[in-house]
Amino acid sequence: MLHFLHKVWRDHRANVAVTFAVAALPVSLMVGMGVDVANATRVKMALQDATDEAAISLARQQSTIDDSAIASTAKAYVQADYSKTADVTVTNATIDRTNIIATIDDQATVPLFFSQLIGVSSMTVKAHSVAQGLQLEVSLVLDTSGSMNDSAGSGGSKISALRTAVTDFLTSMFGTQTTSQRVSVGIVPFATNVRVVAAGSTPSSSYMDTGGLEGDPYDDFDSTKYTRFQLFTQMSQSWGGCVMTRPPPYDVTDDAPSTSNPATLFIPWFAPDEPDTNLGWGSSQYENDYISDTGGTCSGSTWGKSDLWREQRSCKYKNARPSYGLGPNFLCDSNAVTPLTNTLSTLQSAANALQAAGDTNILEGVMWGWRVLSPGQPFTQGKAYGAPNNRKVIILMTDGMNNYGGSNNMNDSYYFTYGFARNGLLGQATSNNNTLDGLLDAKTQTACTNAKAAGIVIYTIGFGSGANGSAGLLQSCATDPSYYYAPQNSSDLDPVFQQIAQSINNLRLSQ
């Protein structure tokens, strides 16, 4: 263009050439300067994008960066994402470690071409970015029912794939840190119920009904009114650490347990000995017949007595020894809850120890995942709801569907966290398992809705074909439809956990 204008300017063959040249020069210069400005704008946009990414990285890694290295680290982060040739100068880089805020100001010099005609050879473009890192509290709610021992296509058993996926998820969340200033994680394994504390632990009267204050709405254990802990003592057995579902409406809320309102307290799991009808394990119509109905301190004939009378006898527990695999802790199968912690080794140990047994109770998984994040009892590690710069997240994974376990006997079901189905505490006394599971699904949906209303973000994973029947429930439980995943093969589970880690680990830009 410059060569052409110069040639025209020197052409004296006609006045029209001079006129054209005089008119074209400022127009051409303006077009050229527009090209320079457009190029500088592209450089500025690239610089801003790189600065944003650098601020995010600086905030994310703030605990590993010395004060003396903040500026050089910021420049390295910027240049790693900066695609233009112009050199970058970081004019300001700071880290507010208390609030996990990183600030970067930088600039780059852009050489100009056409603007040199008016004596401007370069332009300085600037970028400013502030990244604030969210504090994260994550509850991993993991189905460890017996079906997790099965395989799901390629990748081995589902429980093995889960251990790997959780371990890799923790690595993504913690990075190179063994203790995080930003991330706390809890692990809530669930099956038929949730083991709130390790087996043999001493129950806490601050949240447990240790004295029968509620009157035990699930079972009567006859007129002697023994508490469940007293029955454990009579049998010289240890409490397994599992609990019942709180009576409605507290079954789907995070109301704080209080002795002033006994209905809010948690009742220890004690699965009653079921009657001796059709004596002999394996032939009885009852699932958990583990001692004789005439054992302990019982006296008198049982002839003509009802199955309910036999089941509710408290005298039979004295010095009783349950059958192998059965007993008062029957179906208390899951590993104990790992409360929120920022120590990686504790979480890795819990992930590697996961074992599969029992049925599926998604409701209890959701509720205890919520309680792990709650600032109140039984777990108090969570920050207050609405705490600034803090996000609470549940990741719910199941490979199946809710299963109450309806049975064609006097109890209408296996023993469950709502007690026997004949109690009707789920809303209907029935042995129809489809009906019971539908009622349990509705409770689960309500629990998810309540947790989300408390500000908790929920991701859901339906793992394998066994969870396809839960797809609608899991999709509605998730905070957003895109937060629901359905990996069908064991090899697909780890990538899903990685996608979720990336999603929740992203830091928002505040400026």
- Give the pLDDT of the chain (511 residues) as one tens digit per residue: 445 445 544 555 545 455 444 445 565 556 555 666 777 788 888 899 999 888 888 887 777 788 899 999 999 998 888 876 567 899 999 998 877 889 999 998 888 775 666 667 778 889 999 987 778 999 999 999 999 999 887 768 999 999 999 999 999 998 888 998 889 999 999 999 999 999 999 888 889 998 887 777 887 677 667 889 999 999 999 999 999 999 999 999 999 999 999 999 999 999 999 998 654 444 457 889 999 999 899 988 888 888 899 899 889 999 988 877 899 999 999 999 999 999 999 999 999 999 999 999 999 999 999 999 999 999 999 999 998 889 999 999 999 999 999 998 899 999 999 999 999 999 999 999 999 999 999 999 999 999 999 999 999 999 999 999 999 999 999 999 999 999 999 999 999 999 999 888 765 656 6
pLDDT for 459 equals 98
DSSP secondary structure letter of residue 482: G
Asked whether 420 and 412 are in contact (CB, 8 A), the reply is yes
Structure tokens at 195: 């083991």
Residue listed under structure tokens 């890694």: 61
Beta-bridge partners for 143:
190
Q: How far apart are CA 485 and CA 504, in angstroms?
A: 15
Region for residue 405 given its phi and psi (left: phi exceeds 0; alpha: psi -120 to 50; beta: otherwise)? left
Q: Which residues contact 160 (CB under 8 A, 6 or more apart)?
A: 490
Q: Which residues contact 161 (CB under 8 A, 6 or more apart)?
A: 152, 155, 490, 491, 493, 494
Residue listed under structure tokens 């409360």: 339
Q: Where are the domains of the chain?
A: 2-132, 135-272+328-487
**Would you tell me which CATH number, out of the four given (3.20.20.120, 3.40.1160.10, 3.40.50.410, 3.30.390.30), belongs to the domain 135-272+328-487?**
3.40.50.410
| Three-class SS state of 57 | helix
**The sheet that has 101-111: what strands, in order across it?**
88-96, 101-111, 122-132, 508-509
Helices (H), 228-281: 228-235
pLDDT for 394 equals 98
Structure tokens at 25: 């020069």
pLDDT for 152 equals 83
